[in-house]
Amino acid sequence: MNTTKRVARFALPIALSLGVAMFALTPAIAKDLLTVDLVNEPSSLDPHQQWNPDSYYVYRNIFDNMVTRDDAGQIVSQIATKWERTSDTDTVFTIRDDVMFHDGTLLTPEDVVYSVDRITNPDFGSPQLGQFNKIIKAEATGENEVTLTTDGAYPALLAQLVKLSIVPKHIASTMTSAEFNEAPVGSGPYVFESWDRGVSVTVTRNEDYWGDKGPFESVVFRGVPDAATRVADLQAGAADLVVTLNTDLAQQVESGGKGKVLTVNTERVAYFAMNSARPPLDQPDLRKAIGHAIDREAIVEGLLGGYPQIVDQMLSPAHFGWADGIKGYAYEPEKARELIAGLNVAPDMELGLATSPVFDQRVVQAIQQMLTDVGLNVAINTTDMATWLKDQQTTPEQAPMLTFSRWSCACQDPDGIMYPLLHSSSNWSRVNDPEIDALLDEARSELDETRRAELYAQINRMALEDADILPLYQAAIIYGAADNLEWQPTSNESLFLNRMSWAE
Amino acid sequence: MSVFLLQRLGQAFVAIFGVMTLVFFIQRLTGDPTYLLVPETATQADIEAMRRSLGLDQPLVLQYVSYLWDMLRFDFGTSYVQNIPVTEIIASRLPYTLQLAAGALFVAFVVGLPVGLAMAIWRKHPVTNVLMGMVLGAQSLPTFWSGILMIMIFGVWLGWLPPSGSGSFAHLIMPSIALGLLSMATYARIARSSILDEMSKDYVRSARARGVGTGRLVGKHLIRNSLIPVISISALEISQLLAGAVIVETVFAWPGLGQLTVQSVQSRDFVVVQGIVLLGAFVTISVNLLADILYSVVDPRIRKGGRA
């Protein structure tokens, strides 16, 4: 095999330089190599550093996580096989005793403890600190046992540990994060091989993996920023899997005869926030009118190719706590006009709608038009993403009046989405309702799952009643894949290579 | 000559200092990378902690002074996003930019100059009209369109060339053409007008009168004399190409400096943007310096203190 590979590596550039047509198709034919087109190369392969999709698409194959989610979205064992809550704050995890890091060293509870300490150490400066800082202590309490202590009862602990990559203490503790980033060693189904900066990252199959082994001998992740180029790569057979397509390109793939579209509804919830701290939006009837003015079906079916699913709560079916039977505002423009007619809204009162090029501008403009249709004066204010984020995370008095955005906590737990958007203590929240605050605080530390789900359903009903915030839809993610690649994408937007296969 | 050089070097130093200062302040006045680095659920305390770890909590003046001090020691800093030294990031991208620039220049020169020459010599021939149309086309096609078109034709339908990426000579062909087209058109037009200009001069007429053939006339006199404007344009074109071709590199997923610039500006990776801009300034200034020296080689009048 090695010789073939060496020959292939040597022959490929030469053949290409001769302009021999068929060689451009090599990756799709050679079944032992999978080529994935990401948007950009990973920012970092140190899993405790960057956590943007282009980074974790790659490193989640190099590292195992404390626990994981199966294709149905249930939390299942990975490094931890069992867990038991021994008190409101303590959870005891049993750690697998047969996991080897890629350098042949056994993974021990000490590595788990080190991984928690590393990512929660403020001096380490992890961008993911906010996801793990409820864990105040990690301790090896037995031969294969780790006890995690949280700051108060913390029901979302497991949902967060889905993202806790376990790094080897004996390696990571002896180097800086930058050094570890250049030669990451994990215990996952793929072993880091090389990183050609700016071009691609190559990983190879871990033949000694304890779990399901990967179906591809090696996998190349490339950065291809232009979505149309990613589709061309797929259609030319130069790539087997491409990420992040919009609906137009998805259509192009479907009608192109080569390649197929894979899609899944993610845990991202698109919402429309109205700033009740700034008149005239302090009038609940105006917010309700806006709810009736937005035609979500037109947005989803007309603009977004029918992929997303309309939601009526600040959650998605991919989250814990999704409740049936909650109904939002139906599209009734007449009713919206009536409501607005009875209100104190000056016709020249301009409502600013904050956005950034990151968001789908077709949706933003459609919403502007829908609100104009019912007699409101909406101005779109576009800024770059950094500025948009800064403008959002401020006091309600200074925040934009209207905002269209999508939210994901990457944890599939309602606390990660409803607390920041609805609790008055959060920078992002435009809501100031002591009753909702109290319920959110209670749900945040309620360990009884049934009771907890009820609390979130109640909060969602209350938020709808006053139209504090308008849930729009559960966003979809669209991938393009080679016809013979079998894969079921999941809501948490990970590319687990060992869950893919070639159709024979 | 040496006074001239010293003057130019002094100007170059001032220009680089100006660029350094501008890029520092413009970036910091237009956004804060912290918000892009932390998760949405980060608390104010998390945001402050991240800002501290990046050193962005310091007063702007202090940041500027330490930045200048670092630059003086050739310490270009560490990327906020990738957490590796900027010099390493730029060094990994530079070879690709050089390859692409060379490829594009090759296309521009090898096609542009003969086309310009032909258009000047056969001024009234129908061939010139065809060539003129091609030049206009090359100049008007936006690269994001011509690039995708080439990818569709040669990459997807015909399958002759890899649609995107890097790693072999074949990968270089389409991006070089896409990028070289515009420069090609520029060269063709400049060469044409410059040769036409020369052709109307007295020495050409007398040479013709002496019975010098067209081939010899063009080869021996015209080309050399028409080169001055071509060199000036080259200085501009080369420094543009070396700064990276943003659109072509994005469309073809070519990992050069242009792509890096876009990514770094979008993620507010100040340190990387600073590095790239400084490199760009350095290249532009050096190439122009080189062009000045070249003029004096080609045209002795400049060397001997005449007007440039």
Q: Does A40 touch chain B (CB under 8 A)?
A: yes
* DSSP track, A209-224: -SSSPPSSSEEEEEE-
Could you tell me if A418 and A390 are in contact, meaning their C-beta atoms sit under 8 angstroms apart? no
Mean pLDDT rounded to a whole number for chain A: 89
Establish if B11 belongs to a structural domain: no
What is the Cα A184 distance to its own chain's centre? 22
Query: Using the beta-carbon criterion (under 8 Å), do A386 and B96 form an inter-chain contact?
Result: no
- Between residues 192 and 221 of chain A, which touch chain B (CB distance below 8 Å)? 197-199
Establish if B121 belongs to a structural domain: yes
| B85: nearest Cα among B93, B95, B94, B75 | B75
Q: What pTM did the predictor assign?
A: 0.82
Assign residue B271 the CATH number of its domain. Answer: 1.10.3720.10
Q: Which residues lie closer than 8 Å to A420 by C-beta, 6 or more apart?
A: A407, A409, A426, A427, A428, A429, B40, B41
Establish if B108 belongs to a structural domain: yes
For the stretch A450-490, pLDDT in tens is 999 999 999 999 999 989 999 999 999 999 999 999 999 99
* DSSP track, A173-230: TTS-HHHHHHS----SSEEEEEEETTTEEEEEE-TT-SSSPPSSSEEEEEE---HHHH
Alpha-carbon span A79 to A67, nearest angstrom: 6
Establish if B203 belongs to a structural domain: yes
Q: Which residues of A touch B44 (CB under 8 A)?
A: 393, 427
Specify the number of domains making up chain B.
1
DSSP helix/strand/coil, A274: strand
pLDDT at B269: 84
Q: Is the pLDDT of residue A50 over 80?
A: no
Question: Count of residues for chain A?
Answer: 504
Q: Shortest CB distance from B255 goes to which of A130, A198, A420?
A: A198
For the stretch A329-353, pLDDT in tens is 999 999 999 999 988 787 788 999 9
For the stretch B202-240, pLDDT in tens is 888 888 888 777 777 777 777 777 777 887 788 778 877
Best mutation target among A229, A394, A421 (most B Cβ atoms within 10 Å) is: A229
pLDDT band at residue A3 under the 50/70/90 scheme: very low
Establish if B216 belongs to a structural domain: yes
Q: Which residues of B touch A233 (CB under 8 A)?
A: 155, 163-165
Which residue carries 């994981």 as its tokens? A68
pLDDT band at residue B303 under the 50/70/90 scheme: low
Query: Using the beta-carbon criterion (under 8 Å), do B33 and A386 form an inter-chain contact?
Result: yes
Establish if B210 belongs to a structural domain: yes
ipTM of the complex model: 0.76
**How many angstroms away from the CA of B289 is the closest CA of chain A?**
31
Q: Shortest CB distance from B35 goes to which of A49, A197, A386?
A: A386
Establish if B291 belongs to a structural domain: yes
DSSP helix/strand/coil, A264: strand
What chain B residue is nearest to A410 in terms of C-alpha separation? B39
Could you tell me if A383 and A354 are in contact, meaning their C-beta atoms sit under 8 angstroms apart? yes
- Report percent pLDDT > 70 for chain B: 94
pLDDT at A6: 45
Alpha-carbon span A39 to A223, nearest angstrom: 5
Domain limits for position B167:
88-304
- Burial classification of residue B214, based on how many CB atoms lie within 10 Å of its CB (0-12 exposed, 13-18 middle, 19 or more buried): exposed
Q: Does B159 touch chain A (CB under 8 A)?
A: yes
Q: Does B155 touch chain A (CB under 8 A)?
A: yes
CA contacts within 13 A on the Cβ side of A490: 20
DSSP helix/strand/coil, A128: coil
Establish if B289 belongs to a structural domain: yes
**How many angstroms away from the CA of B251 is the closest CA of chain A?**
5
Tell me the backbone φ, ψ of residue B148, rounded to 5 degrees. -60, -35
Q: Is the pLDDT of residue A14 over 50?
A: no
Q: Which residues of A touch B155 (CB under 8 A)?
A: 24, 232-233, 236, 238
Instruction: Give the pLDDT mean for A156-162.
Output: 93
Q: Is the pLDDT of residue A316 over 70?
A: yes
Sign of the CA dihedral running A492, A496, A499, A500: positive
pLDDT band at residue A354 under the 50/70/90 scheme: very high
Lowest mean pLDDT among A70-74, A320-324, B102-106, B238-242: B238-242
Q: Does A415 touch chain B (CB under 8 A)?
A: no
Q: Is the pLDDT of residue A261 over 70?
A: yes
For the stretch A239-260, pLDDT in tens is 999 999 988 899 889 988 889 9
Q: Which residues of A touch B51 (CB under 8 A)?
A: none
pLDDT at B159: 85
DSSP helix/strand/coil, A372: helix
Could you tell me if A416 and A409 are in contact, meaning their C-beta atoms sit under 8 angstroms apart? yes
Query: Using the beta-carbon criterion (under 8 Å), do B44 and A21 form an inter-chain contact?
Result: no
